[in-house]
Amino acid sequence: MRVEAAVLAGLTLAGCDTAFGDQLARDAARSVVKPIVAQYLPGPGGEAITNCVIDNASGAEILQLARAAATGPDDTTVQVVLDISRRPETIDCISRDGLSAVLGQFG
């Protein structure tokens, strides 16, 4: 409960500074997306895939995912991540950045 309150308070206070608030929300969302990616899209490109999902999420989706950092992810959270990952822009990003992460292991 303390973590939930801290995340929500941080998001509320960050609203005064748009850049800080955006980064805080993206970091909170990333903490939710990363384990979902690891479960549903496993492999060495997990960090790159997580970044692609975050980079292609709308502002409303980032806030929804950030709230899940405080309340805990549920089936809706997983569906949001999977929906974002299926977008053409996200697939392009994953193809580019995720593949680079995989190939980087061999170089």
H runs (alpha helix) in 15-98: 18-40, 46-55, 59-71, 75-85, 88-93
Q: Is residue 29 within 8 Å of residue 82, measured between CB atoms? A: no
Q: What residues have CB less than 8 Å from 63, skipping those under 6 apart?
A: 25
pTM listed for this prediction: 0.77
Residue pLDDT, tens place only, 18-35: 777 789 999 999 999 999
Residue pLDDT, tens place only, 82-105: 999 999 999 999 988 876 655 555
Helix (H, G, I), strand (E, B) or coil at 86: coil
Dmax over CA atoms of the chain, in Å, equals 45
pLDDT at 1 over 50: no
pLDDT at 63 over 60: yes
Tokens of 32: 């939710």
